[in-house]
Amino acid sequence: MSEQPVAVADVEVKTPAGTCDATLVHPHGQGHWPGAILFADAFGLRPTMRAMAKRLAQEGYTVLVPNPYYRSAKAPGVPPGANFSNPADRQKITELRAPLTADAVAQDAKLGVFGYCMGGAMSVRAAAAVPDRVGAGASFHGGALVTDKPDSPHLLVPKIKAQYYFGVAANDDAGEPEAKTKLREAFDRAGAIAKIEVYEGCLHGWCVEDMPLAPGGKPIYNEAQAERAWHELVTLFKRVVA
């Protein structure tokens, strides 16, 4: 699509836990546009997430990107260039994520929703927390969507009214092949609409352009398959919340 002008602003959102720093992006000018929240991956609110929000805003949406770590640090929280392969970086991310309990995520939810990595599970919790306000949701290479814990996101599906899309990384599926089945069963039992696809050949994180290289030097970001995932997101949003 052609480059459409958008307005970008750093904002603060009051929450039960304090003040969340965030980025708000919307089409330029005056108007009313459907809203969405982009839940960032484990590397937090940073230029890549802002760019993705800008791209959705160019489709005619107002997009809020909250700092997921606002309870611990201002954005980005995670140092630029951080890599899960580095034990020090991994420890830093673990510390930042510690306050992100299921209850904390539910308190923060306002609108609906799409997310990457840990943001996928956050989107599900948001959709369940405010079901009457969320018409569509999407998760890409979502982490911990199906666990054996009593607060597993898939157990919240009966509360969700949103239509959902799940894009699953091939290596995530290989590690937990039963997860997609349990997720499918949860939506079917609830009579809810969800499309669940495994992206063959794609690694966890394939949708995000600034992903570090995988161990062995293989690129994680896959432009062609990231575009396919983006098309699914926009198609869902245009159908349900436009």
Lookup result for tokens 């919307």: 26
Instruction: Tokens for 10, please give them.
Output: 């750093």
pLDDT in tens, 142-192: 999 999 999 999 999 999 999 999 999 999 999 999 999 999 999 999 999
Residue 80: per-residue pLDDT: 64
Q: Which pLDDT score is estimated for 149?
A: 96
The two three-digit tokens of residue 1, written as one number: 């699509």
The per-residue pLDDT for range 203-219, each reduced to its tens digit, is: 999 999 999 999 889 99
For residue 96, give every residue at least 6 positions away whose Cβ sits within 8 Å of its Cβ, in sequence order, or none: 44, 69, 72, 73, 77, 78
**pLDDT score for 100:** 47
- The type of residue at 242 is A
What is the value of pTM for the model shown?
Answer: 0.85
Q: Determine if residue 78 is left, alpha or beta; phi over 0 gives left, psi from -120 to 50 gives alpha, anything else beta.
A: beta
6-240 folds as: Rossmann fold (3.40.50)
Please write the tens of the pLDDT for every residue from 67-116. 999 988 886 666 666 665 667 656 655 655 555 455 654 454 467 799 99
Q: 46 by DSSP, 3-state: which?
A: coil
- Sequence ranges of the domains in the chain: 6-240
pLDDT class for 57, splitting at 50, 70, 90?
very high
Per the omega criterion (within 30 degrees of 0), is the bond before 5 cis? no
Local structure of 231: helix, strand or coil:
helix
> Is-contact 117 146, C-beta < 8 A?
no
